[in-house]
Amino acid sequence: MKVALVSPYDWHTPGGVNSHVAVLAEQLRERGHEARVLAPASRPVADPEVITLGWPLPVHASGSVVRISLDPRLGRQVREVLQREQFDIVHCHEPLMPVLPIHVLRHSKAANPRVVNVGTFHARKDGGNRLYWSSRRVLKRWYRELDGKIAVSPPAAQYIERYFRGYYNIIPNGIDVEHWADPTLERVPELDDDLTNILYVGRAEKRKGLSYLIRAFGMVNARIPQTRLVIVGPDSRARRRYEASVRRNGQRNVVFVPAQPYDELPRYHRTADIFCSPALGHESQGYVLMEAMASGLPVVASNIDGYASVITHGVDGVLVRPKDSMALADALSALARDTRQRSNLAAAGRQRVEEYSWPRVTQQVLSYYERLLDSNRTYHDARDADNAAGPRPTSLARA
């Protein structure tokens, strides 16, 4: 099977979709399939299995900045690639995102009439999507080119179905459980002491709710002085404002750590005692929660749809009302005091996250590909047989 995995995002900008595409491509190759990535790139890519198409530009979307190609002239390049490669499966991630996936859907069946187009919808935005709302009549043309549709969670499916009605298979994002659960990982020395570490990993964007966590930790630390908040994430103007606010207010035991490489980040999970993600919304699944659960950490998170699709409150994690610093402080304080409850939640979370392991997710994707290919083959064989038989004679009654 020859598969094209299409990402609309700059291949050199880390993100959930690109990570998903990269690992899925690797998993498919390990199973003997050909997998090529099609994506825009802000500089050359050394990997021969990545075909770069388009120059990405920064665009504000959903409280964040995405880097996508907006060049309407991509069509010729896309057509040439599709004609040359002759893929069996074209799998577009965020298939209605401008403009690369749309060009791929536009030209895929012209390049290979028997190709199967699949789309995975990763996103969720609680307030709705202006692009989908204003352009849905135009986008439906390319939406109809999809032979199969995947959503990474029920909330993601509900979100896209507001604009494009249809059946969506739920196949979650995968996670390398062994990477996060590696027992040989060394702890971070400067954080390895008698303090209870509460870990936050992510950007300092407003929608991530970091301001509520910092406020909540002030209450936690006042109640339990032997606690520390560790904030790991990339530098940004918003993050520097949080750091300045913590210094200005004299808040103790708050540590800001630069963003860590993929291979180093699990060491911070191993050194932590509790993981917290107080996001306000726009989360389709909650990948950071899965990383923490795979690491064996008890999780405290906002009770939003994307997170509630992963965590069952009181069973494999704790969910609290969004934007409620007091509720967040109470939940964190309770876990900081109760090592047994932390252990119980961590064990249940570790078991739950196995459902998202990459081998399991890859097999779900492959099984879906095979079902679609079988259906497509049956359709084309029947059509070819009808064409070979020639036109049916007109009956006398109809004449």
Residue by residue, DSSP assigns 308-356 as: HTT--BTTTBEEE-TT-HHHHHHHHHHHHH-HHHHHHHHHHHHHHGGGG
| Residues 273 and 332 occupy one common structural domain | yes
Are 38 and 69 in contact by the 8 Å Cβ rule? The answer is: no
| Residues 26 and 38 occupy one common structural domain | yes
| Domain-located, residue 398 | no
3-state secondary structure of 2: strand
| Residues 19 and 31 occupy one common structural domain | yes
Are 99 and 14 in contact by the 8 Å Cβ rule? The answer is: no
Sorting pLDDT into bands at 50, 70 and 90, what band is 59? confident
Residue 378 is which amino acid? Answer: T
| Domain-located, residue 118 | yes
Sorting pLDDT into bands at 50, 70 and 90, what band is 399? very low
Q: Minimum mean pLDDT among 159-168, 216-225, 331-340: which range?
A: 159-168
pLDDT at position 391: 66
Average pLDDT for 100-119? 97
Q: Closest Cα partner for 211 from 358, 324, 316?
A: 324
| Residues 288 and 309 occupy one common structural domain | yes
Average pLDDT for 285-303? 96
Q: Is the pLDDT of residue 140 over 70?
A: yes
Give per-residue pLDDT as tens, 181-231.
999 999 999 999 999 999 999 999 899 999 999 999 999 999 999 999 999
Q: Is the pLDDT of residue 63 over 70?
A: no
| Domain-located, residue 105 | yes
Neighbours of 24 (CB within 10 A): 24
Average pLDDT, the chain: 93
| Residues 142 and 290 occupy one common structural domain | no
β-partners of residue 68 are 9, 57
| Residues 318 and 364 occupy one common structural domain | no
- CATH at residue 138: 3.40.50.2000
Average pLDDT for 284-295? 93
| Domain-located, residue 396 | no
| Residues 377 and 336 occupy one common structural domain | no
| Residues 362 and 351 occupy one common structural domain | no
pLDDT at position 395: 44
| Residues 137 and 251 occupy one common structural domain | no
Cis, bond preceding 99 (omega within 30 deg of 0): yes
Q: Closest Cα partner for 119 from 17, 51, 187, 271?
A: 17
| Residues 114 and 17 occupy one common structural domain | yes
- Strand spans (E) along 54-142: 56-61, 64-69, 89-93, 116-121
| Domain-located, residue 22 | yes
| Domain-located, residue 111 | yes
pLDDT at position 387: 76
Output the six-digit token pair for 19: 């990570």
| Residues 223 and 330 occupy one common structural domain | yes
Q: Is the pLDDT of residue 72 over 90?
A: no
| Domain-located, residue 333 | yes
Query: Number of folded domains in the chain?
Result: 2
pLDDT at position 65: 77
Output the six-digit token pair for 95: 């298939």
Which residues form the domain of 293?
A: 177-355
Average pLDDT for 286-295? 95
Long-range Cβ contact pairs of 68-73 (< 8 A, separation 24 or more):
68/8, 68/9, 68/10, 68/40, 68/97, 68/98, 68/99, 68/100, 69/8, 69/40, 69/98, 69/99, 69/100, 70/98, 70/99, 71/99, 72/99
Per the model's pLDDT, the better-predicted residue between 33 and 137 turns out to be: 33
pLDDT at position 282: 82
Residue 51: phi, psi to the nearest 5? Answer: -105, 115
| Residues 341 and 380 occupy one common structural domain | no
With a pLDDT cut of 70, the percent of the chain lying above it is: 96
Sorting pLDDT into bands at 50, 70 and 90, what band is 396? very low
| Domain-located, residue 114 | yes
Are 211 and 230 in contact by the 8 Å Cβ rule? The answer is: no
